Structure 1
Amino acid sequence: MKQPISITAMSSISPLGKTPEDIWNNYKNEHHFFSKNDNNWVAKIASEAKIEIENLRQSNPKYKALDDSVIFAIYTSRQAIKNANWNASDNFGINIGSSRGATKLFEDYHKHFIQNNKTEILTSPTTTLGNISSWVAHDLQTKGPEISHSITCSTALHAMLNGIAWINSGMCHKFLVGGSEAPLTAFTIAQMQALKIYCHSERSKEPHPCQALNLNKTQNTMILGEGAAMVCLESGKQNNAIAKIIGYGYATETLEHNASLSTNALCFQRSMSMALGNLNPKDVDVIITHTPGTIKGDQAEINAIHTVFEKDIPALTNNKWKIGHSLGASGILSIEMAILMLQHQELIPVPYLDTKHLKKIDNILVNAVGFGGNAVSILLSK
C-alpha cells in the first residue's frame, strides 16, 4: 500500500455484547455463547443488545417493518460514527454487506404469499439487499455514496476492500464499512444442515460444540451466529487511529464444488501473499483464521497458511468456537477481535489448542472466504 488506511472507530453487537469492555472481558474467558433453538445450536446477540435493538425498532414507525439485519446495521453504524466524531456533513461513504440479507422478513413474506397468493405492500423494498446501506444512509442523513453487496462469508471484508479503493482513488476520504447478519431462521439452518456442515445437536455434552481450528475433529461443527460490526476508515495516518490497515489481498479460485475450497485453498495463498506485500512473513504475529469448524474448510486454510509461511507459522486463533459463524458479518467481527488484541497486547487463544506465547503483537492478518473461493486477507498494525 502507498499509504496506510486508518481505522478511527468501531462498533459491534454480537453474542459477546455491545461495548468494547464487555466484548474484551467475554473474549478473556473460555466459555462459548451457544444455546439451543428448536434443538439446533445457535449464537444469539447478547440480551442487553437485544433490548436496545428493540428500542430502536420502536423509536421510528418506519423501522418496525425492517428486518433485524437492517436494524443491527443502523444501531452499530450510529455508534461507530459517534465514536469517530463524524457527522452527516462529512458525506462519508457507506458499504455494508450481508450474506443473507433480510432472511427472517423474506421468509415471513413468502409464507404470507403461499397462504394468500399475494404479498404485503412493503415486501420488495424491505427485502432487497441494497436495503441495508440505504436505510443506514437515511438514518445518518449522509449524502455520500452507499453500497450494499453480498459475497457470502467474505462480504464484510469485501466491503472493507471497497472502502479502501474509494479512499485511495480520492473519490472519498472517509468510509463506513462492515457487515450485518441475522441468519437464525429454521430455513437458513436447514440449508447448512443440507450441506452436512452444521454442528449436530447431540454435541450438547461437549464443552465446546464448535471445534473451529481443531484439525483432529471427526465431524463438521459449524454453528450459525448473529451479529453486526462497523468500522470507520480514513485516509492516511490519523492521530485518533485505533489500528492501521497496512496490507490487503484478495483472490478467487476456480470452483471445484459450489461450497468448497481447493485442498490447499489457493485463494487464501494468493490473498495472504498479496496482503503481505514486501513484509517479511516472520513479522506477522497472529492470523485470525476464517476456519468455520468444518473438516475440509479448516484443513484447507491451514494448508494454505503452511504454504505461505512455511516454518514461520504465526500464532493462530479464531472466534467461531465462541460466537459461531455470522456469515457475511464474520470477517468484520474478526477485524474487531484483531483491534482488541492490538490494543491490549494479548492473544485471545482457542481453549482446546496449544497457545503460542507472544511478547508483543504488532501485526495481525485476518482471513475470510465465501462459497466459491472468494478470499480476502487484511493486514492490521497497531
Structure 2
Amino acid sequence: MAIESLSALGRGSDEVWAAYLSQRHALVEMPFEDQSTFVAPISEDQRKGIDKIKGSQSQYRKLDDTVLFALDVSRLAVESAGWDGNRSFGINIGSSRGATGIFESHHRQFIDNGIIPPWTSPVTTLGNISSWVAHDLRTSGPEISHSITCSTALHAVLNGIAWIQGGMADRFLTGGSEAPLTPFTLAQMKALKIYATDRGPFPCRALDLNKEGNTMVLGEGAAIACLQSGESPDSLALIDGVGYATEVLESSVSISAEADCFQRSMRMAMGDLHPSEVDAVVLHAPGTIKGDEAEYRAVEKVFGSDLPLLTSNKWKVGHTLGTSGMLSMELAILMLRHQVFIPLPYEGENPISRNLNRIMVNAVGFGGNAVSILLRRPGVH
C-alpha cells in the first residue's frame, strides 16, 4: 500500500510529515472578487509542476485542476507502490465539486457571449477524473468517478475494498481530488455563514469546542492511496474495519446534534473490538460550531470512558471537500508509521511520541453520508 498527496502541506509523504511536525498552518489570505479570504492553496512550485503536466499533451490543456491534481498524485502513488511494471488495477477517484474552475469559466463565457467551446461537456463531468488518470497511466482495469460530497475519498476506499474482496480486482487506486478555490465556490460557503473571518493565529479552529464562531477554510489538493489485499513487508497500514451510515437529515447542511451517522459508522468499523483498543481518531471536524460539536458528541457516545486521542488536520490544511477524508487517512498512516501523535496546537500541545496501534478516520458530507475507516499498524494483531 502507498498513499501520496498534493496540498498546501506539500507534495509527497516526506514534505507532508515535516509540515505536520510544525505548528504553523498553511492558510493564507487571498483576494477573491475584491474580498480578502482565507484559503489553503498549493505552493507556487507545486503550481509549476501542475502547469508542466498541463502543457505536456495537447488534450491536457483543456483539463480542470481537479483532473490535473489527480494525474500528478496518481503518478506519485503508483511509483511509491511499485506498481509501474503492472498497470492492471482499478481506479476510483472522486470529487465533491468536480471541474469547478473550468465549469465557472465556460458558464461565464456562455452568459457573456452566448457560446461555449464544443469540449465543455466532456471536460466538466465527474467521470473525467478517473478516465484521464487511466489514460495517463495506461491502465486496463475499471474506472470509477463519483461525488458523495465531503466523504467522497473514503467512499472510494470502500469501493476499492469491495472490488478486491469480491474477487473482481487485485489492486485499486483510490482517493479524491478537489480544486474549489474559485469565487463562486467560496461565495457558496460564505452564504452558509460557516466561513472563517477571524485573523487570529489560527483562522480555522477545527475541533476547538470553545470557539465563538464558525471557522471553516477551503483548501485544494488531491490524495491517492494504493490498495491491495494481504500484508507485505511494504505495507504502510492495514485496514482493520470500515463503517458507513446515512442519517435522516434535519437540515440540508448539517447532521444531527449527536451525529447518529458517525455513531453507526464508527461502531461498524470497530466491530467486536473494545473501544480501548482504538488509540486515536482523526475527526472530520471542519471547523464549524455545530459540525465539530456533533461529531465530538458521537465520539463520546461510542467510546464512553475509553475516549481516544482526538485530532483534525483542517486547522492546518483547510477543508479540501472531496479530498479531505484521504488527507485525514494520510495523517493517520503517518502517525502510525512514525509513532507520533499530532495534536491541535491551540490545545497547548506539541507533537508527542505515543504507542499508536489503531487509528480511526472519519469523514462526512452534505447528505449525512458518514464513513469511518479503522487503520492498524503492520505487525499488530
- Which TM-score band applies after superposition, normalised by the shorter structure? over 0.9
Give the corresponding residue for 1:12: 5
| 1:238 to 2:232 alignment | yes
For residue 212 of structure 1, give the secondary structure of its aligned residue in structure 2. Answer: coil
Is 2:205 the counterpart of 1:208?
no
Distance in 2 between residues matched to 1:186 and 1:379, nearest whole Å: 36
Q: Which amino acid aligns with 1:160?
A: V
Q: Is the 8 A contact 1:367 1:377 kept in 2?
A: yes
Instruction: Kindly indicate whether the alpha-carbon contact (under 8 Å) linking 1:88 and 1:143 is maintained by their aligned counterparts in 2.
Output: no
Number of aligned positions between the proteins: 372
Aligned partner of 2:26 in structure 1 is 33
> Please, which of 271, 275, 298 is the counterpart of residue 277 of structure 1?
271
In structure 2, the residue matched to 1:373 is 368
CA contact 1:272–1:377 (8 Å) conserved in 2? yes
- Distance, in Å, in 1 between the alignment partners of 2:142 and 2:66 is 20
Note the alpha carbon deviations across 1:331-382, whole angstroms, 9 max, x for none: 0001110111011100011101255966300000000001121000000011
> Counterparts in 2 of 1:55-70, with a 5 A limit?
55-70=52-67
Query: By how many angstroms is 1:197 displaced?
Result: 0.5
Choose from 352, 360, 363 the match for 2:346: 352
**Displacement of 1:35:** 1.0
Instruction: Give the Å deviation of 1:47.
Output: 2.5
SS at match of 1:180: strand
Is the contact between residue 263 and residue 298 of structure 2 (CA under 8 Å) also seen in structure 1? yes
Matched, 1:42 2:39: yes
Does the 8 Å CA contact 2:342/2:352 hold for their aligned counterparts?
no
**Residue 93 (structure 1) shift:** 0.3
The alpha carbon displacement at 1:143 in A equals 1.3
1:265 aligns with 2:283: no
Deviations 1:52-94 (A, max 9, x none): 1111111111101100000000000011111111137441000
1:5 paired residue number: none
Q: Does 1:256 pair with 2:253?
A: no
One-letter amino acid of the counterpart of residue 32, structure 1: H
- C-alpha displacement of 1:51: 1.4
Question: Secondary structure at 1:59's aligned position in 2?
Answer: coil
Give the aligned partner of residue 103 of structure 2: 106
- 2:80 pairs with one of 68, 78, 83: 83
1:306 is the counterpart of 2:303: no
Q: CA RMSD in A?
A: 1.2
Alpha-carbon distance in 2 for matches of 1:122, 1:292? 35
1:242 positional shift: 0.9
Q: Does 1:194 align with 2:191?
A: yes
Look up the match of 2:309.
Answer: 315
Q: Does 1:94 align with 2:91?
A: yes
Residue deviations 1:236-290 (CA, integer Å, cap 9, x gap): 2223111111100000000111001000000000000000011111011110000
Residues 17 and 48, structure 1, Cα contact 8 Å, conserved in 2:
no
What's the offset of the Cα at 1:158?
0.2
Shift of the 88–183 alpha-carbon distance from structure 1 to 2, 3 Å rule, reads farther
Preserved CA contact (<8 Å) 1:177 1:230: yes
For the pair 1:23 / 2:16, whether they are aligned, the reply is yes
For 2:281 and 2:212, the matched residues in 1 are separated by 24
Distance in 2 separating the partners of 1:159 and 1:281: 26
CA contact (8 A) 2:38 2:217 kept: yes
Match of 1:163 among 160, 178, 187: 160
* 1:61 partner letter: S
1:23, distance to aligned residue in structure 2 (A): 1.0
Matched, 1:218 2:212: yes
How big is the shift at 1:46? 2.4
Q: Which moved more, 1:89-98 or 1:371-380?
A: 89-98
